[in-house]
Amino acid sequence: MALIEVNFDGIVGPTHNYAGLSLGNLAAAQNAGAPSHPRAAALQGIAKMRANLRLGLAQGILLPHRRPNREWLATLGTEPATAGQLWSAASSASVMWAANAATVSPAPDTADGRCHLTVANLVTMPHRSHEWPETLRQLQLAFAHPGFAVHGAVPPPFGDEGAANHMRLCERHEAAGVEVFVYGVGGGAFPARQHRVASEAVARRHGVTALFAQQSPAAIAAGAFHNDVVAVANEHVLLTHEQAFADPARLYAALRARLPGVEIIEVPASAVSLADAVASYLFNAQLVTLPGSGGMALILPSEAQTHARVWRWLEALAAGNGPIRRLVPVDVRESMANGGGPACLRLRVVCDPATVDPRFLADEAKLGLIAAAVSAHWPERVDAAAHAALGDWPAAEAARRALLAALDLLELA
């Protein structure tokens, strides 16, 4: 079985909007109430996937959920027309950030030799807490092959935010790796979203011997609400901010003991501050291995290129003799304005693509079908002032259904 890394990107849904629902996400708070552009947002994500295909990377997709979520509102005794403030939470398109869909442990790491996925419960934020049942349904469909084990969510109150707080390091994707679960400790102005109890539960379910590292309280306070805002790993490389972890020396020593060939690239705070890292999202990048002997590339938001101190440091990194040789800026500005960069938009799964439901795998032709559906049905602009008046939002549901029909996935309707 040929194991490779496949990036499954979330397609931005037609209800994409800026409601400022995510406490601790500075971009979401700063842009609350601004008009959003769902069509442009989805097309930007599709363009990123196309660029990844041109780099020779394997690409998958995850689908938008039905919004507003009337079933969730019904459990709260209301409906879209009368939901008030709950309407925004029921209409969020935040499922686009597939890094929060699940935690993934590839087959080489697990006790039973299967690829394990545990859907994230996302209980800390109300607008995301109702995502997991539909996400679970999609994962069970996409990964129905017996080589996968798909698990339901860890029960509340133990918050689990999925792959955004999980890293895997290995010599090669298909080799056994070291999994690192990053958790937070509460007490600051912003909530710590990943609980250690949840991380430990996922590791036990998956049958992996993992490392557990505490996220730095300073990073959370600076707006790094997930670890992937301050650190990213790929194969044997860890690219991390100096202040990402509460006890970096201990983590680095444990990594070197488990994976002697690990390369740790620590970005000093004197060169790039936490504020710089959060503003540019340089760590919320896809660190990928290029086919052949191309080394590694860092697929970055274009905001990193326009931030002088950040780009200067990155250019020096790429010009050096290290493993990261190429910088690839991409335009995902609509996602970035809500606090999600290239890494937020994708879930990494190391697997044999032949074992995945092919409807969830993407090529140029399929991305063309998706782009056509988006161009025909996604709204061009959503104004915050008129947002709640949309109620059931039938146009958004019709748009999603058109996409599902184009992909032969109407069982998800």
pLDDT digits (tens, 9 = 90+) for 233-259: 999 999 999 999 999 999 999 999 999
pLDDT score recorded for residue 25: 80
Residue with token string 């859907």 = 119
Q: Round to whole Å and give the CA distance between 102 and 150.
A: 9
Nearest 5 degrees, angle CA 210-CA 342-CA 316? 90
The beta-carbon contacts of 68-73 under 8 Å, at least 24 apart in sequence, are 68/15, 68/392, 68/393, 69/130, 70/392, 72/130
Q: Round to whole Å and give the CA distance between 284 and 281.
A: 5
Please say if 344 is a catalytic residue: yes
Q: Round to whole Å and give the CA distance between 396 and 66.
A: 8
Peptide bond into 342 cis (omega under 30): no
pLDDT score recorded for residue 22: 81
Please say if 195 is a catalytic residue: no
Mean per-residue pLDDT of the chain: 95
Instruction: Give the dihedral of Cα atoms 220, 198, 251, 107; nearest 10 deg.
Output: -130
* Tens of pLDDT, residues 351-386: 999 999 999 999 999 999 999 999 999 999 999 777
pLDDT score recorded for residue 151: 98
pLDDT score recorded for residue 85: 87
Mean pLDDT computed over 261-266: 98
* Tens of pLDDT, residues 45-96: 999 999 999 999 999 999 999 999 999 999 999 999 999 889 999 999 999 9
Contact 350, 173 (CB under 8 A): yes
Taking the model in full, what pTM does it have?
Answer: 0.97
Please say if 145 is a catalytic residue: no
In the set 115, 170, 344, 351, the catalytic residue is 344
Contact 88, 4 (CB under 8 A): no
pLDDT score recorded for residue 390: 87
The DSSP letter of residue 114 is S
Q: Would you say residue 1 has pLDDT above 70? A: no
Tell me how far the alpha carbon of residue 229 is from its chain's centroid.
10
| Neighbouring C-beta atoms of residue 306, cutoff 10 Å | 11
Instruction: Give the dihedral of Cα atoms 92, 337, 49, 281; nearest 10 deg.
Output: -120
- Burial call 161-173: b when 16+ CB within 10 Å, e when fewer: bbbbbbbbbbeeb
In the set 161, 179, 235, 303, the catalytic residue is 161
Tell me how far the alpha carbon of residue 51 is from its chain's centroid.
18
* Tens of pLDDT, residues 131-185: 999 999 999 999 999 999 999 999 999 999 999 999 999 999 999 999 999 999 9
Tell me which H or E stretch contains 217. helix 217-221
Give the strand pairing for 296-301 and 58-62: unpaired
pLDDT score recorded for residue 19: 85
In the set 166, 226, 236, 377, the catalytic residue is 226
